[in-house]
């Protein structure tokens, strides 16, 4: 495993933005039950605060309703000093204190108050759920990762945790460098998201990718990148995955297959890759496509000054060969049509593809497939699929890429990558 691939995976993984900074803070501030609603609900249950603190609690409630948080805390402090308080009194005082402190941005004080409210033992099941969720949010937003996990697990055990809650637990384990448990909760969050009919969060797979990158676990990196590609189809993930898959590929035929995917997913970012792909295409007697590849590299400013002279000579050579192919195309068509084997038809289709004539590419390759006796059946289906993609015939493209599974002795790596590409076509 080369350092560049690990570093690439790390850069991608570290690009995630934590859930806590926005979503969780909103959840914390918008407490599940407001003080006013809490009082009403408690009265309906026959629970009321003691008369001994009626004045102070009435004042606190009015102050809260008027958004006078500091004034509310003064009344609540006064109520707390009274003697003869019941557990329910204390629970309510601490609950209100927690709410007021959240509004003042004093999360440490709010956390202490809500913990005290739970500790009274007077909280109803509904209150426990609300307070636990709030404590979970406070812990997450203040980077108390172990506390976040504890409160999160309590919610998960109670069946009140959302997919996003489970994702925050996974993130907390990740922050604690506990990749094993982070992975477990990533899977739970993904499963919960799908069960809820939601797309899993991209961040979740990035936790796994970072862990795999840190551990130098190439297969795990590839698995995470596959998931990310299925979810987002981003070229950055394709680039990293294809660099991983390319690094130990020694067969030129298979290497060119990988380059084709890199090119088609717009994930080829280095001029040297374009040059090598063009050379491989030239060796495969496809100078027209090689010309297109190099012209794109030049247009994108990817050819360095040190590469320009040699690459320009290479491009001119491909132009000459492509022009000769074009002049002989009519004769090639006649020969291919007359030949009982399909090999020439497929090669003609590849030439048509290289010149941008995608409909004739489809016609020629389909004719060749019907005849049979094709040397590289994998290339036939790949060029058929690529031509259909260019024609925006998504269903037919997917059908062509799916047919690669029927090709005897196809490289497992090539099959896996083109199958993944086939899944993303049309997105």
pLDDT digits (tens, 9 = 90+) for 342-387: 999 999 999 999 999 999 999 999 999 999 999 999 999 999 999 9
Listed in sequence order, the residues at least 6 apart from 19 whose beta carbon sits closer than 8 Å to its beta carbon are 140, 164, 167, 168, 171, 201, 203
**How much is the pLDDT for 39?**
52
**How much is the pLDDT for 8?**
54
pLDDT tens digit sequence for 244-282: 999 989 999 999 999 999 999 999 999 999 999 999 999
Cα-based torsion angle of the residue sequence 189, 146, 110, 115 in order, rounded to the nearest 10 degrees: 100
Question: Along the chain (427 residues), what's the average pLDDT of each consecutive run of 10 residues?
Answer: 48 47 46 52 62 92 93 95 93 94 92 95 90 93 94 96 94 94 96 94 92 92 95 95 92 96 95 96 95 96 94 96 90 92 94 94 96 93 97 96 95 96 92
Which residue reads 């003609």 in tokens?
348
Which residue reads 């990293």 in tokens?
240
Listed in sequence order, the residues at least 6 apart from 211 whose beta carbon sits closer than 8 Å to its beta carbon are 174, 179, 182, 183, 217, 220
CB 411 within 8 A of CB 383: no
**How much is the pLDDT for 24?**
46
- If we measure between CA atoms, which residue out of 69, 75, 71, 77 comes closest to residue 103? 69
């Amino acid at each position: 495993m080369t350092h560049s691939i690990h570093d690439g995976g790390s850069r991608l993984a570290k690009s995630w933005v934590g859930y806590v900074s926005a979503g969780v803070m909103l959840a914390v501030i918008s407490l599940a039950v407001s003080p006013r609603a809490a009082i009403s609900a408690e009265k309906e249950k026959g629970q009321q605060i003691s008369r001994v603190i009626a004045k102070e609690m009435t004042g606190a409630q009015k102050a809260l309703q008027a958004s006078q948080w500091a004034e509310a805390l003064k009344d609540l402090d006064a109520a707390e000093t009274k003697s003869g308080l019941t557990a329910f009194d204390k629970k309510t005082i601490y609950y209100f204190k927690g709410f007021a402190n959240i509004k003042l941005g004093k999360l440490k004080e709010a956390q202490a108050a809500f913990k005290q409210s739970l500790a009274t033992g007077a909280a109803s099941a509904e209150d426990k759920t609300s307070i636990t969720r709030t404590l979970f949010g406070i812990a997450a937003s203040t980077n108390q990762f172990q506390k976040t996990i504890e409160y999160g697990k309590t919610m998960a055990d109670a069946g009140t945790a959302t997919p996003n809650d489970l994702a925050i637990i996974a993130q907390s384990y990740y922050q604690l460098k506990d990749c094993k448990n982070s992975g477990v909760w990533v899977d739970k969050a993904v499963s919960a998201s799908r069960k809820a009919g939601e797309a899993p969060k991209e961040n979740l797979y990035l936790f796994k990718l970072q862990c795999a990158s840190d551990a130098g676990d190439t297969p795990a990196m590839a698995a995470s990148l596959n998931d990310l590609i299925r979810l987002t189809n981003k070229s950055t993930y394709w680039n990293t995955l294809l660099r991983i898959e390319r690094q130990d590929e020694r067969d030129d035929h298979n290497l060119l297959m990988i380059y084709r995917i890199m090119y088609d997913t717009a994930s080829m970012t280095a001029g040297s890759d374009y040059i090598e792909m063009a050379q491989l295409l030239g060796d495969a007697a496809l100078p027209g496509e090689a010309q297109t590849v190099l012209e794109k590299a030049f247009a994108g400013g990817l050819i360095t000054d040190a590469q320009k002279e040699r690459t320009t000579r290479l491009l001119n050579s491909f132009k000459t060969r492509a022009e000769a192919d074009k002049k002989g195309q009519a004769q090639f068509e006649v020969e291919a049509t007359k030949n009982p084997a399909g090999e020439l038809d497929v090669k003609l289709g590849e030439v048509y593809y290289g010149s941008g004539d995608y409909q004739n590419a489809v016609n020629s390759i389909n004719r060749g497939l019907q005849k049979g006796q094709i040397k590289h059946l994998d290339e036939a289906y790949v060029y058929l699929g690529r031509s259909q993609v260019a024609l925006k015939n998504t269903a037919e493209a997917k059908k062509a890429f799916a047919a690669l599974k029927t090709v005897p002795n196809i490289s497992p790596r090539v099959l896996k990558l083109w199958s993944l590409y086939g899944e993303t076509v049309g997105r």
